[in-house]
Chain A
Amino acid sequence: MEFKHKAHIMDAAGISRALSRLASQIVEQNVGMTDLLLVGIRRRGVPLAERIAERIEHLEGQRPPTGQLDITLYRDDLSTVGPRPVVNRTDIPVDVTDSTIVLVDDVLYTGRTVRAALDELVDFGRPRKVELAVLIDRGHRELPIQADYVGKRLQTTAAEIVKVMLKDYDEEEQVIVVENE
């Protein structure tokens, strides 16, 4: 598929600064960090959660545990998406009951991914609190879901695609907006 490049939003340094700010805000809201757990939503939420955890360690001298969620089995659009998504593994390393969980994803759009992630999380136990951190909030919510920590808010149209590219999966590290040709 060919994409038309529309806008350059962040470069590697911009992503790094945004993550540092998210880390500071998370620390500020969770003083003492008792039972804090960062959970990345596959795929790109996972490296973002790791990077935020590193920054929190730098700030507080203690690295919060991190986990990862694959929400495929909880999607509400399984039979309409195709080809069939690959089911990857979910890994929650600690007991979630009474913990404070910060869900981490790259882009917040309709809110359906977060809805699925919340459903999956509560199957592991009853967290005391669940918060949401995203690198980009691009609007167009279809469910009553909001992020607690936002790297950058973008005004977008439904036809546009926000691509968060990270060195873990992509050649270049940047955030761009493209549109289908």
Chain B
Amino acid sequence: MGFNQKDLLGIREISAEDITTILDTAESFKEVSRRAIKKVPTLRGKTVINLFFEPSTRTRTSFEIAAKRLSADAVNISASTSSVTKGETLIDTARNLEAMGPDAIVIRHPSPGAPHQLARLIGASVINGGDGAHEHPTQALLDAFTIRGHKAGFAGLQVAIIGDIAHSRVARSNVHLLTKMGAHVRVAGPRTLIPPYYEQITGESEGSLTVCDSVDDALSSADVVMMLRIQRERMTAAFFPSLKEYSIQYGLTLRRLRLAAPDCIVLHPGPINRGVEISSEVVDSASSLILDQVTNGVAVRMAILFLLVEREGH
């Protein structure tokens, strides 16, 4: 068993073997969620704190349900109702939480690297629930789990990631994960929303990363299409003329989806903007696995909590 780490901070830091261990473990936890009594006693007496400095429904609820199905106690703290509004720094908040003896802290923060700083300061396991535009490792893992349930494997798989690449921690984590597992990733979106030298973020890996000039190029024969949300809250400048124009040029419609492979699956990390980056017909089509992703998210987060908190010698 290779995976014996305290924290899950990003996909970049973990190996293909670690990823496989997490996904295999999640298979077992998916069965737990189908039982009449959806709870196992594994993390009884452990405490998981959800520390959220940014709004979240899916990720926070998913972690809370995952912790509860493992019999851990889950505590939610959101920045708007915490001492952060009274001027406490992240470091002081962390030290105070640590003093209450949690076993794991899930942190979402607008600053890239905030979970890494927290992990250095405290003994509890730290899980990155999204840090700025940097990484969102549990999202990439649940996406991978969803893909694995429908495709034979990652090696040689053609994956198109479309939209606001620059602001997307989901895209970054997925690019790391998919290329480590041997997939070929193509990204497309407005040029203003693709960082320069983006091809180089993967370093040496099994798969490949290509930046495409058009959405149609990226979609061509794709096995998986991952659409990204336009993150208006992170946009400080005018990156494209209007939502209407964005939708026409970069939105996923049924007509455009025909360019992809016939058994192509469509993913979206949510929340979706119907009619902007993805049309309602695509969201509600048989190709769409957007709700499967949410279901799988609980199993994957149970696996991560189990693997981190019950690590060897702890």
Contact = CB atoms under 8 A, between A and B. Distances in A.
A82 B313 contact: yes
A17 B311 CA distance: 42
Interface stretch (B6-14, B30-38, B125-133): B30-38
B5 to A, nearest CB: 12
Given A73-B40, A78-B310, A84-B4, A123 B35 contact: yes
Given A84-B4, A89-B27, A78 B37 contact: no
B235 interface: no
A62 interface: no
A87 interface: yes
B31 A90 contact: yes
B285 to A, nearest CB: 31
A73 B302 CA distance: 11
A90 to B, nearest CB: 6
Contact of B41 (A74, A82, A90): A74
B314 interface: yes
Given A73-B32, A88-B28, A91-B31, A79 B310 contact: yes
Interface in A67-101: 70, 73-74, 78-79, 82-84, 86-91
A119 B28 CA distance: 17
A3 interface: no
Given A123-B35, A124-B35, A87 B41 contact: no
A75 B23 CA distance: 21
Contacts of B312: 82-84
Nearest to A78: B310
A61 to B, nearest CB: 32
B4 A78 contact: no
Interface in B106-156: none
A78 B311 contact: no
B35 A84 contact: no
A14 interface: no
B193 interface: no
Nearest to A87: B28
Contacts of B306: 73, 87
A123 B40 contact: yes
B210 interface: no
Contacts of B4: 83-84
B307 interface: yes
B286 interface: no
Contacts of A87: 25, 28-29, 306
Nearest to B41: A74
Contacts of A70: 28
A91 B35 CA distance: 10
B191 interface: no
Contacts of B311: 84
A125 B36 CA distance: 7
Contacts of A124: 35-37
A84 B28 contact: no
A79 B41 CA distance: 13
Interface of B: 1, 4, 24-25, 27-29, 31-32, 35-37, 39-42, 306-307, 310-314
Interface of A: 70, 73-74, 78-79, 82-84, 86-91, 119-120, 123-125
